[in-house]
Amino acid sequence: MYTWRGEIKRYALIYGATGLLGYFLGILLPSLLVLTLILLGIDLLQLHRLQRWLAKDHGSDKSAPPESFGVWGAVFDGIYRLQKQERRASAHLESLLNKAQESSAALEMGVIMIDRHNNLDWWNSASESLLGLRHPQDRGQSITNLIRDPNFAEYFSKENYDEPLKLPAPGDSTQILEFEIALFGKHERLMIVRDITQLHRLELMRKDFVGNVSHELGTPITVIKGYLEAITDNLQDLDPKWQKPIEQMHQQSNRMENIVRDLLLLSSLETKQRPKPQDAFSLSSLLSEIRNDTLQIYKKKSHTFDLHCPENIEILGDRSELYSALSNLVVNAAKYTPEDGEIAVDVAFDEEFLTIEVKDNGIGIDPQHIPRLTERFYRVDVSRSSETGGTGLGLAIVKHILARHDAELDIESEVGEGSRFTCKLPALRYRIADLAGNEVSEKAAETATSLTH
């Protein structure tokens, strides 16, 4: 094995022997000079062999470096060893890459990598059939040039990928695709594309079915309810044993009517376009209307009802939808608050959000139910809900309408203490107007009057 010490010894021996011979022959200096030139020549020759070997194409020619000895032999062997390690590592990486490519090619969904300049970097074969991408021509092309739907461009640039996007496939509008995007690395994106045509059809069928059933049930229920109302009006003429059943039938027919009404509303919300932030209406007049309607319905409960809403707030959205959402919250507050209880509606805003808070000091809700309250037909207490004529659809409607207005619902409650339902609308859904109806600056907005009705 090569060592520096052995090498130095070898040089010392060669120079010693040559020096001794030169000394006895009387040519000490010339002999040492000749020896140095010879050694230099050998080094140059080895360097030349190494350079020639390095210049080869090592991808195709896997030959070992030239044989050598001493320090040069060690250098050649070291380089060869490093080269072999490198080859093993790249073979491993290549096999990993091949496996990843083979498995992604077997996927039915499209997988696309997009670089930080929004250009296509890599995609699997399913993406080619789903989106019509061509390999390799489309590599480096901007994704928004290849998928030209404005909804896609908006979704892609918004960078809020919590919800997937559904769109007709480019080139085949009967096929529905779902896009999901995840950000990774240095602002790169991984996009997953699925064909959800079948699911979408089923979803449409479900919506149609619910809509049609609710519609068809409407007339029979109205007729049954009409007769029951007529009978209830003349209850005293009935055999007493029928009085309770008739009362219950009347109560349940009311409930059925409410369920059908709520189902119809939900199905129309699901099929209608989202309201664009174009139409403006006064929030304070909407809330006053809801307050008066609710007080009228629950007159007997003698609630106190405080409404605090600056008069100059205008909501940008669909008034009748927001009437349904907010009146559901206010009616619930009245429904689930005993007599002489307190209900309050407070509105507050800053530059980013507007909040509408509906509070009551009623029976409250056990926090374990809160995450599920906005599910359809979810009720905390089924028996209590059927007594109050509840459908279990009210909060599902509220959530749906708020989502259509880019808003969120937050619920806080404690059993026996009361509940607080907060609707949070983003800035694009409200504006502050002066009392003549014109838009005013943020500064003026701060001085908005807080009215108590």
Which residues bind to ligand ADP, rule: CB under 6 A?
Answer: 328, 332-333, 336, 360, 362-365, 373, 379-381, 385, 390-395, 419
Residue 401 near residue 269 (C-beta atoms within 8 A) = yes
Q: Closest Cα partner for 110 from 119, 122, 118, 99?
A: 122
Q: How many residues does the chain have?
A: 453
Shortest approach of ligand ADP to residue 178 CB, angstroms?
28
Q: Which residues contact 22 (CB under 8 A, 6 or more apart)?
A: 28, 29, 30, 31, 32
Q: What are the φ and ψ backbone dihedral angles of 322, each rounded to 5 degrees? A: -70, -25
Shortest approach of ligand ADP to residue 333 CB, angstroms?
5
Cβ distance to ligand ADP smaller for residue 347 or 365: 365
Can you tell me the distance from the alpha carbon of 313 to that of 288, in angstroms, rounded to the nearest whole number?
13
DSSP string, 404-425: HTT-EEEEEEETTTEEEEEEEE
Cβ distance to ligand ADP smaller for residue 126 or 397: 397
Cβ distance to ligand ADP smaller for residue 214 or 419: 419
Q: In this structure, which long-range contacts are made by residues 442-445, counting pairs with CB atoms below 8 Å and at least 24 apart in sequence?
A: 442/351, 445/312, 445/349
Can you tell me the distance from the alpha carbon of 170 to that of 147, in angstroms, rounded to the nearest whole number?
7
Cβ distance to ligand ADP smaller for residue 124 or 294: 294
Name the token pair of 60. 């195709």
Shortest approach of ligand ADP to residue 391 CB, angstroms?
4
Name the token pair of 227. 């007769």
Cβ distance to ligand ADP smaller for residue 128 or 381: 381
Cβ distance to ligand ADP smaller for residue 72 or 305: 305
Shortest approach of ligand ADP to residue 144 CB, angstroms?
40
Instruction: Please report, in angstroms and rounded to a whole number, the separation of the first and last CA atoms in the chain.
Output: 99
Cβ distance to ligand ADP smaller for residue 324 or 391: 391
Cβ distance to ligand ADP smaller for residue 143 or 260: 260
Q: What 3-state class would DSSP assign to 384? A: helix
Shortest approach of ligand ADP to residue 326 CB, angstroms?
12
Shortest approach of ligand ADP to residue 190 CB, angstroms?
38
Cβ distance to ligand ADP smaller for residue 127 or 391: 391
Scanning the structure block, which residue is given the tokens 């779902």? Answer: 178
Q: What are the φ and ψ backbone dihedral angles of 338, each rounded to 5 degrees? A: -65, 170
Residue 354 near residue 432 (C-beta atoms within 8 A) = no
Shortest approach of ligand ADP to residue 387 CB, angstroms?
10
Q: How many CB atoms lie within 10 A of CB 169?
A: 19
Residue 420 near residue 355 (C-beta atoms within 8 A) = no
Shortest approach of ligand ADP to residue 210 CB, angstroms?
17
Shortest approach of ligand ADP to residue 390 CB, angstroms?
2
